Amino acid sequence: MALVEANAEIFGLQRPWERVREEMTDAQIREFYAFVADLWPVGSDPKEIMPSPDSSLRALYLGENEPELMLQNVFRFCLYADQIVVVNPFDNPNVVAEKFNPLYHPGEWRLQTIRLVFHLALLAPWVEAGLVVLVPDPGDFDRELRVKTWDLAKERLKGRTPSKGDIESSVMRHRAKQTLLLSPQRYLESKAREIFPHMSEQEVHKVLEDVERERERDLFLPKSTLDRMPGQMMAARTGANLEMGMYMCQATGAFPYTNLKFRWEEILGARNDLSSTAQLWSPLTNAFQQLKFRFLDKVDSQFACSVRRDGRLEGFRSYLRKLWTTVDGEPDASKAEGLARDFRDELTQAFNEAKAEWATIDRDLLKWGVPTLTSASVSAASAIATGNLSLDIAAAGFVVGGVAELVQSRLKRRAFRQKVPMSIFVDLDNK
């Protein structure tokens, strides 16, 4: 919460966003990262930073940690969970080499910080309401832990490479293309003539006008061009790798959820099912996959948070909370099959009640005028996304080799979860 407040105070977020973006100074950037460095020094105890396990339905987001995507997935899924844990979307200067450190080279972090300030501003109402918890990567404070999770991941991913689809769907691909819009006009003009040598003067002029309009529409690009600023840092994040993600799930009492197909495949690869019990929960998981769920989309952060604070969909969260508590309790294998059938039957009622609640949410969307991230209006229909919740319950849990030992040795708790029994993939129809 202190971080969100510092973000608002340092950058003057009471002003229009265009002014915040254009008037951001090196001194402000340095001040913000100095606050981060003071807030989380290297000697911090990760146990004190992460929330302790409790009876709530807590989810750890393991998807692209960018304002374009991450916040929309917080908006969407927070209606189906009590609390979402998000790994901080910024670097801690205490663990960044001086050559790249924002405390020493704040001007090189301007583009990255513009995104971060917007990102935190959108998250603010969720953090204030306690619905989202921002936590640092535990590896920031425990170098040995970080290296061990890297080594475990390296061994697990040996011989694997990202697919073409993974690369093309990444927000970093879009970010790289958008950053090219900051090229100086003379460079863009020369490239246009080089690529299209027969282009007329009028056509070249139109290309430059189109680039200028595109740049002005982009929330994260300043008016300045790249030739007027130092080289810029660009960082991409997906929360944590699978090993660190499972460590955090076990430490916080959370289950992982993602909207990234490659990460979902990684999670499913960590299923530690025993052959005799592997299919016990399939009646329930198959029933989930047949249902179409609704999610808020492209709406203002304050509006989406108000829907959650008003207690909407509490019945369905209660159903999921009961399910999580049951599977977390590691029920006897002889009882699991019956429990799976009971939960499948309860799912129908809980889902139908949720559909009825969405009807009232639809009416509120019309009443509110559907404010969006950019304060422009969209139709109520376009403010709703549909898709599937692929819930997976592994009879013997999701286990990544070596992680349980790391939890036990570092958290030093008498009781801790040695496996993560549930995970969810949010698969939307309209990408």
Q: What is the pLDDT of residue 319?
A: 94
User: Residue 122 has which token pair?
Assistant: 């959108």
Residue 357 lies in domain: 2-160+236-428
Domain count, the chain: 2
* 22 plus 144 within the same structural domain: yes
* 19 plus 80 within the same structural domain: yes
* 280 plus 395 within the same structural domain: yes
Q: What is the pLDDT of residue 227?
A: 87
Torsion, Cα of 81, 308, 351, 339 (10° steps): 30
* 98 plus 199 within the same structural domain: no
* 191 plus 147 within the same structural domain: no
Q: What is the pLDDT of residue 413?
A: 56
User: Residue 320 has which token pair?
Assistant: 């999921």
* 169 plus 135 within the same structural domain: no
pTM, to two decimals = 0.87
The CA–CA distances, whole Å, from 8 to 12, 45, 106, 128, 348 equal: 6, 27, 18, 13, 44
d(CA 82, CA 101): 36
Question: Which SS3 state, helix, strand or coil, does residue 260 take?
Answer: coil
* 259 plus 393 within the same structural domain: yes
Q: Domain boundary at 212, 228, 244, which?
A: 228
Q: What is the pLDDT of residue 53?
A: 86
Q: At what angle do helices 314-328 and 333-368 cross, to 10 degrees?
A: 160
Q: What is the pLDDT of residue 276?
A: 55
Per residue, what are the HEC states of 226-255? HHHCCCCCCCCCCCCCHHHHHHHHHHHCEE
Q: What is the pLDDT of residue 70?
A: 66
* 174 plus 140 within the same structural domain: no
In total, the chain counts a number of residues equal to 431
Q: Domain boundary at 180, 199, 228, which?
A: 228
Q: Domain boundary at 182, 212, 228, which?
A: 228
> What residues of the chain score a pLDDT lower than 70?
70-71, 273-278, 330-333, 368-382, 412-418, 430-431
Angle at 60 between CA 342 and CA 52, to 5 degrees: 90
* 69 plus 188 within the same structural domain: no
What tens digit of pLDDT does each residue of 50-89 get?
Answer: 888 888 999 999 988 888 776 677 878 888 999 999 998 8
* 204 plus 77 within the same structural domain: no
Q: What is the pLDDT of residue 348?
A: 92
Question: What stretches of 124-253 adopt beta strand conformation (E)?
Answer: 132-135
Pairing outcome for strands 293-296 and 384-398? antiparallel
Pairing outcome for strands 132-135 and 254-258? unpaired
What tens digit of pLDDT does each residue of 250-282 get?
Answer: 888 899 999 888 889 888 888 876 655 567 788
- 331 alpha-carbon distance from chain centroid: 31
* 201 plus 56 within the same structural domain: no
* 87 plus 184 within the same structural domain: no
d(CA 83, CA 57): 7
d(CA 320, CA 265): 22
d(CA 400, CA 395): 15
- 184 alpha-carbon distance from chain centroid: 33
Q: What is the pLDDT of residue 47?
A: 75
Q: Which residue has the tokens 């959108």?
A: 122
- 148 alpha-carbon distance from chain centroid: 24
